[in-house]
Structure 1
Amino acid sequence: MNDIKIDTIDLVIIIVYIIGILFIGLWSVRKSKMTSENYFLAGRGLKWVVVGAALFASNISTIHMVGLAASGYNDGLVWGNFEWMAVFTLILLGLIFAPFYIKTRISTLPEFLEKRYGPSSRTFVAIMGILAALFIHMGMSLYAGAVVFESFFGISMINSIILISVITTIYTVVGGLKAVMVTESIQTIILIIGAISITVFGILALSEHGITTFVAFKAAAKEGQLSMLHTSSSLKAISATAASTGLTWYAVLLGYPVMGIWYWCTDQTHVQRVLGARSLDDAQKGSLFAGALKILPVFILVLPGVIGYVLFKDNIGTDANQTFPILIKELLPIGLKGIVAAALLAALMSVLAAALNSSATLVSVDIVKRLKPSTTDKQQVLYGRIAAVVIMILAMFWSTQGGKFTSIFEAINKIAAAMAPPITTVFLLGVFSKRGTKEAAIVTLWVGFLLGVISFCLDFVPISGHMYLTDGLGIPFMMQAWWLFCVNCVIYYTVSYMTPKPDPKAIAECTWESPLAVITKGKLTGIFDNRLLAGYLLLVMVILYIIFE
């Protein structure tokens, strides 16, 4: 990557951001009594704007900011489907899952599974949640951030890892979820401003090069680079790398929801923000607000990559990872470079804080409290803080291994494709199927997990030496997620009908009366009823997909 010369003004902005976010994180909880509910769920008093902003910030990491620009340069807007399809799963979070999460007043997602199925499922998903936070959300994000700051600004990888980890750990460990949420709200604003600035200056640069219309822009880009939906042949027309992604329209339509429901609706790292909402209305509106925000990354993270191809392909060449730094170097004036650097920090720190707080919650609530029921409220907070420090240290060590992966962004998605299907199955069918049993849940989780591990290993070149599923059978990772989900559904229903019916109390508390009840239950409360807001958001997405089909 090209090093970016840091001006004094930009350096001051970065330092002010680091000191400011640490101060705000600690100041936000200066008068808070640290009960377990305050520490892990911010006292269940979060408003919908904060819930939505924090959901968005907990997702956008440095990997997204750099990786999506590189993907836009290579393959175009097709990678933006990971952002736009998230809108649909966030609607599912708000309308289908949030009502049960708020009604049952759970502290963790595994706790919900215990109410629906029993303790065995809770233990399994709690452990999986901790591992996902450690190995995916924290370790890989920390490595990617360190690489970026070393490449962009000449800060050594080890120093970057230590500095970012220490600062994030301090306000997360001391302040709990409230400190995380307050800082994430601020980081969302910084992140969006930083990303928008690149897009705006990129569009202005296009005008300076005589590209003043969308038609001219499309002509200057690769064929299909500005399209969201593709067939196998249209992907091949873009590039060999685009063809290898397997991101056809049907793979996105079938495979992403399997991964997205796990990621957005059942993963503690993200859903903990919803659990801290002050009411069901705030939980639902927060989810929908996050969905609206997820429209932006296509235009402020992926589109700049296409602009980079049109303007700087001679400089960038075949190393797409240079796209983001070159855009910063060539387009942004002094001062804005510092804001973008702050945005990169914001993206990384928000993800780390979210994963750190959620994993501490899982350890304290789902493991320590269950193994030792006599644990006091004060002790729970202490164990949570200790767990957070230990997990961060482990993530720091794991992050040093990130260089062994050829593509972190793709590796994370492939891990998700293997991990998500069984968890998505037991949660989704759990809230809709009145016949699903505790035996079906635990068998599905274990067998589904083993099948996912096998499929991942068969397609992971460092282990198998060949991509047997993608190249051999023509089943890319998105379709692997879909077919694994189908197999898990068969396992779930087969075991369910071979075992006694579930507890009627669990069904009444955790399952919809019918699929239509999601939108028909209760009278509409006006034009801002959450079901209508979801409808408006769906309409916007349909229009956008028609424009960028």
Structure 2
Amino acid sequence: MVAEQSQEFEWYDYLIFVVTLMAALGIGVYYALSGNRNATTKSYLTADRSLAVIPVALSMFMSYISAILVLGNTAEMYTFGANQWFAALGSSIAYGLSAIIFVPLFFPLKITSAFEYLELRFQAKSVKIVGTMLLMISQVFYMGIAMYSPATALEAATPIPVWASIIATGIIGTIYTSIGGMKAVVWTDVFQGLVMFSGVIAVLIVGTEKAGGMGEVWRIAGDAERLDVNFDFDPFVRLSFWSVVVGRTISSLQTTGTGQTSVQRYCSMKTLRSAQWAVALNIPLMGIVYSLTCLCGYAVYAYYDYIGCDVLRTPMVGNQNQVKLIETQYRFHVYLPCIIQLLPYFIMNVLRVPALPGLFVAVLFSGALR
């Protein structure tokens, strides 16, 4: 393994990170002071149904994008290959079906909560309460993971402990959401979306150049069978085209079509047609982000393949108990590394570009601040 010196998190990296957090808080304060003080509950929750298509589309998209996708897709491409890439196709199908089926169902009802529909449908308030409680429980578990992932990455680059990052993002997210209402949430998501796209693109460009160019990255990935797609119908195969596409379509239909986050956003639009467009615009967005993050994984793999090192099997990423290759009874190999560390390690120890670590950490936390 080639010896590498870790890049330090400099003052400008901290500045980028802090500006990202403060911008989210500032947007919430702005909308709290510019009109929400006299707002009704419905206008607070739906922004007076005056939101535009592109901001809502970006907001919906960012509501289901987190550090889990950025870090997970990179590690998946590095370790196993292209099958997970087709999750973008499954999500795109779900967005298309949601725009055709669920938006025309919920939008005319002028509801502020997906669970209002349950009360209307079954004429029972208890059904709405049960649905709300189940959402709260599921979101607590999901947000725990979504906030832990970027906090771990930040701890790897700075002296800031995981608990401090989680508390800080939790407080900021709670404040801007509470005081700013739906407008603050949507426009904060727009800002975070721009940060995420710029950060991932920057990492991909620099990483690809470090690995020898996109042609070389693609060649190495092909030689290592990382571009192969498994069309096997065997349900015991770890991932296949069919399991990824069908599974993601079904799971995404709930979040994109009937999930509270989506319903509240597309019901805040002016017209039914604009609501359908806001949902449909997530199709290209999903394809772009999946492609960018998957290509980042290939760039990382190409670099370490060139220098002859499987970084996940070294003690530099995670501890030795986490870095083991095991073979399960289901005939596929599973790494147990600290995969959260893979892309941050590559950025800090290989790319070593000024301000890039700060931008990348901002990308990860942009997915948690929502």
Tell me if both proteins adopt one fold, taking TM over 0.5 as the criterion: yes
Tell me the SS of whatever aligns to 2:9: coil
For residues 24-65 of structure 1, what are the alpha-carbon distances to aligned partners after superposition, in whole Å with 9 as ceiling and x for unaligned?
221134222331112212221111101110011111111111
Q: Distance in 1 between matches of 2:230 and 2:278?
A: 28
Is the contact made by 1:171 and 1:180 (CA closer than 8 Å) also made in structure 2? yes
2:22 alignment partner in structure 1: 19
Is the contact made by 1:87 and 1:294 (CA closer than 8 Å) also made in structure 2? yes
2:287 alignment partner in structure 1: 295
Q: Distance in 1 between matches of 2:311 and 2:215?
A: 23
1:7 alignment partner in structure 2: 10
Unpaired runs of 5+ residues, structure 2, are 314-336
Equivalent position to 1:195, from 176, 195, 200: 200
Equivalent position to 1:126, from 126, 132, 138: 132
1:341 alignment partner in structure 2: 361
Amino acid at match of 2:342: T
Cα 1:4–1:165 change in 2 (3 A) is: farther
What does 1:483-522 align with in structure 2 at a 5 Å threshold? none
2:326 alignment partner in structure 1: none
Shift of 1:245: 6.3
Q: Distance in 1 between matches of 2:140 and 2:222?
A: 44
Q: Distance in 1 between matches of 2:114 and 2:92?
A: 21
Cα 1:324–1:230 change in 2 (3 A) is: farther
Equivalent position to 1:55, from 57, 60, 82: 60
Kindly indicate whether residue 311 of structure 2 is the aligned counterpart of residue 316 of structure 1.
yes
Unpaired runs of 5+ residues, structure 1, are 234-242, 354-549
Kindly indicate whether residue 281 of structure 2 is the aligned counterpart of residue 281 of structure 1.
no
What does 1:396-415 align with in structure 2 at a 5 Å threshold? none
Q: Distance in 2 between matches of 1:129 and 1:3?
A: 41
Kindly indicate whether residue 68 of structure 2 is the aligned counterpart of residue 31 of structure 1.
no
Shift of 1:244: 7.1
Shift of 1:315: 5.7
Is the contact made by 1:51 and 1:274 (CA closer than 8 Å) also made in structure 2? yes
Amino acid at match of 2:210: A
Computing the radius of gyration over CA atoms, which structure comes out larger, 1 or 2? 1
In the alignment of these two chains, the number of paired residues is 335
Is the contact made by 1:198 and 1:300 (CA closer than 8 Å) also made in structure 2? no
Amino acid at match of 1:10: D
Q: Distance in 2 between matches of 1:24 and 1:46?
A: 16
Cα 1:326–1:145 change in 2 (3 A) is: closer
Name the structure, 1 or 2, with higher relative contact order (CA <8 Å, separation 6+).
2
Is the contact made by 1:93 and 1:265 (CA closer than 8 Å) also made in structure 2? yes
Q: Distance in 2 between matches of 1:158 and 1:307?
A: 31
Is the contact made by 1:113 and 1:121 (CA closer than 8 Å) also made in structure 2? yes
1:112 alignment partner in structure 2: 117
Q: Distance in 2 between matches of 1:219 and 1:110?
A: 47
Cα 1:15–1:124 change in 2 (3 A) is: closer
1:147 alignment partner in structure 2: 152
Q: Distance in 1 between matches of 2:257 and 2:105?
A: 12
Equivalent position to 2:211, from 202, 206, 210: 206
1:258 alignment partner in structure 2: 250
For residues 258-290 of structure 1, what are the alpha-carbon distances to aligned partners after superposition, in whole Å with 9 as ceiling and x for unaligned?
211112211112332112122212211111111
Identity %: 24
Shift of 1:254: 3.4
Is the contact made by 2:221 and 2:298 (CA closer than 8 Å) also made in structure 1? no
For residues 218-260 of structure 1, what are the alpha-carbon distances to aligned partners after superposition, in whole Å with 9 as ceiling and x for unaligned?
444x21x124554278xxxxxxxxx976322232343332211
Tell me the SS of whatever aligns to 2:269: coil
Q: Distance in 2 between matches of 1:228 and 1:193?
A: 29
Is the contact made by 2:153 and 2:341 (CA closer than 8 Å) also made in structure 1? no
Tell me the SS of whatever aligns to 2:64: coil
Is the contact made by 2:218 and 2:298 (CA closer than 8 Å) also made in structure 1? no
Q: Distance in 1 between matches of 2:274 and 2:254?
A: 21
For residues 355-384 of structure 1, what are the alpha-carbon distances to aligned partners after superposition, in whole Å with 9 as ceiling and x for unaligned?
xxxxxxxxxxxxxxxxxxxxxxxxxxxxxx
Is the contact made by 2:106 and 2:263 (CA closer than 8 Å) also made in structure 1? no
Amino acid at match of 1:348: A
CA-based RMSD: 2.4
Shift of 1:22: 1.3
Is the contact made by 2:146 and 2:367 (CA closer than 8 Å) also made in structure 1? no
Shift of 1:301: 1.2
Q: Distance in 1 between matches of 2:352 and 2:233?
A: 37
Q: Distance in 1 between matches of 2:354 and 2:171?
A: 28
Cα 1:140–1:87 change in 2 (3 A) is: same
Amino acid at match of 2:120: K
Q: Distance in 2 between matches of 1:3 and 1:286?
A: 42
Amino acid at match of 1:231: D
Amino acid at match of 1:94: A
Cα 1:252–1:344 change in 2 (3 A) is: closer
Q: Distance in 2 between matches of 1:339 and 1:63?
A: 17
Q: Distance in 1 between matches of 2:96 and 2:292?
A: 22
Amino acid at match of 1:188: G
